[in-house]
Structure 1
Amino acid sequence: MSILFMFLVLFVLLIIGVPVAVSLGIASILFILFEGMPSIVVLHTMVNGVNSFTLIAIPFFILAGHLMNTGGITNRIFAFARSLVGWLPGGLGHVNVGASVIFAGMSGAAVADAGGLGNVEIKAMKDAGYDTDFSVGITAASSTIGPIIPPSLPLVIYGVIADTSIGQLFAAGLIPGLLMAFSLMVMVSWFAKIRNYPKDDKFRLSVLWISFKRAVLPLMTPVIIVGGISTGIFTPTEAAVAAVAYSIFLGLCVYKTLSFNNILRVSQETIETTASILMIVATSTIFAWILTANQFATFFAEHLLSFTDNKVLILLIITLLVLIIGCFMETIAAITILVPVLLPVAIEIGIDPVHFGIILILNLMLGLLTPPVGMVLYVLAKVSDTPFERCVIATAPFLVPLVTVLLLLTFIPAFSMWLPTLIYR
């Protein structure tokens, strides 16, 4: 009964608009007081929840993304993507997706993609005559590629909680991220055909070469990060530090687009973002610890497996459950709470923790595109000066290819497991 009361308090607080971290903390503390447990448990659990070397990667990946945005790197990436795929029908829609794939290898966060590239992409598409709805919809959908292709902040959080190799998770995300990009480009082609969207420009090898030369150094960022991790040169945390150092080197020494004032400002923004993330991690750790201590995961697993032992049906139930929770809960909080509950069930039916991590994160990325939480939608509503409700409607068609990819990844493990098996196993 106490567990049900805790969930009820949490959902009521979320519905009335209380911040996620505060909601999780209040619900957990009320449970502890109700059960007569010592209050010091709260402090110890929160500290242990964030006391992880791997979590140090989070502020550095965030800072690297901010530095790339501030240093004008996003414009170079967009120009390169434009020369590469802009000649296709619906050219700027394809450019939007391609730029997100490239930027995904630098930031690892959907909101950073939407806020950084989104401003450039939506303005360019509007100037070229594309509908605002289409521009906002494809920008929102393509931003979800960021947390799947390495480096990925949600995969770092998942790896810490699930005690799973971050390197394997990063390798597992590459092919799924490219599948997402391909599916969205198919959708763009369909829209271009029925709405007669123009090609951006003719393909010119000389223009491609020029834009590539301008973007080649930023394009080395994902090579440094992923290559360093996969070859064992870096741990994920060290790779994040290397990404920041490389970003500062490009901005200060090569392009001279960064100043020390810029670096100070983005560092302050990084501190604020990191503090909010770690607060969510800390309070959700209390919540997850309560669930684990009361054997809620075992209870859930036993009842689900008693209902059916069909692997396909169980995966569909888990997928539906995560999709629903993702609509109401911030990604990091959802990961921290869901992993201790769902991972034992996944392992019981033979799902590899690395494969399950990709399924879980992609599920939760769809939550960024759905109300009422939908953080990407709120960012793009501000960037594009479009009402939130209109952003929701504009993004809805692009959920079709993303859900299709989710189902493919869920039921064909090779898409996510081939690369980590090749490199690590």
Structure 2
Amino acid sequence: MPEPHHDSQTAVNAVVIGGGQAGLSASYYLSQRGIDHIVFEKETVVHKWKDQRWDAFCLVTPNWQCQLPDHSYDGPDPHGFMVKEQIIEYVDAFVRKVKAPVLENTAVTGVQRLGTGFRIESTVGTTTADAVILATSLYGAPSIPRIGERLPSHIAQIHTAEYRNPAQLPEGAVVVVGSGQSGAQIAEDLHLAGRKVHMVTGNAPRCARFYRGRDVVDWLWDVGQYGITVADDGMGKKKHDTNHYLTGRDGGRDIDLRAFALQGMALYGRLSNVSGSKLLFDRDLRTNLDNADRVYNGINALIDRHIAEKGIAAPPPSIYEPVWRPDTEPESLDLDAAGVSSVIWATGFRPDWSYVGLPIFDGTGYPVHRRGVTSVPGVYVLGLPWLWTWGSGRFLSVGKDAEYVVSELASALRETAAGVAA
């Protein structure tokens, strides 16, 4: 990609902070409108896909949902699930197509109001801009609970962002803390490799991979779930919820923790404390599993209603019945007695907006916006889950979000220019 010219002080119409798929999509539409801009990326544009995904990683949604601007998936397997190297190739091709003016390995250290525009401080100097798009998403630094500081020093600890494969871990059993998408898939990866896994569950829901003859994602697309916005009732209100766990591995399948338990995986409720070499748990394992199954069956019931209303010919409906139930609620696990050598923290990421010196945040530190437009004129956010729809922040809809945000930005620039001319 072309390296943008950048003196110690540069002026542009717009600055995009973050060079992932959100920032690149914004750059695509800014270039289409002839808006002078720079994209700041503190790492490299594809580093999250290359450096924060395990070897067996694959998409959870089918390939046809990869719809970056002017770069929809056009391969031979639209209903398959790209593996890590294929995803990197897909994103690399988008990078070459966009030719974004990206400054890689350049961290933004401050964003402040400057007159009617903004001053952006970075590790290469100062930039002034009329508008700023914050496209760093919620996936900043790995989030590891400080309770991990109390674990014995001989227990290896890594975050999912560092996990690559079972062979990188010392011999012995492994505790996976967190049952969201990454935690469930990594637990499966370890389980299939023959490692003893202790899975610490949480409130993550689950979803069927295939139901009544089709991928559930295809059904949900037809039902209109991906068109629900945060302005609607229903799932749109749950923009902070944990994603449903399932997998695209080996052509796609359900992830059923109860089935894993039958095969020897040990399951626990939420981690509550550490005492010496013991992990202590809440007594909510049954509740966590039941709630996940309730969501699973609820999604299938939604599909059942759609099929009935449209008179669609499909295989008969079914209800998931638990294949295993815990006899007791385990309250502790002695790591040494159980031969545990490693803990993997599947506890997500924390966003970093500490450099943003603008009043755009709510009491939780989350940016207040409507469809990416904040209350501070000229400041926009992009790449967030549920920015507007279920597909926001993903390959499916991040381009649509970027198109809207850039349209709003362009209108604001025209209004400012008209005001100056008058």
Aligning the two structures, in what range does the TM-score lie when normalised by the shorter sequence?
Answer: under 0.3
> Could you state the TM-score of these two structures normalised by the residue count of structure 2?
0.25
> Could you state the TM-score of these two structures normalised by the residue count of structure 1?
0.25
Going by fraction, where is helix more abundant, 1 or 2?
1
Rg larger for: 2
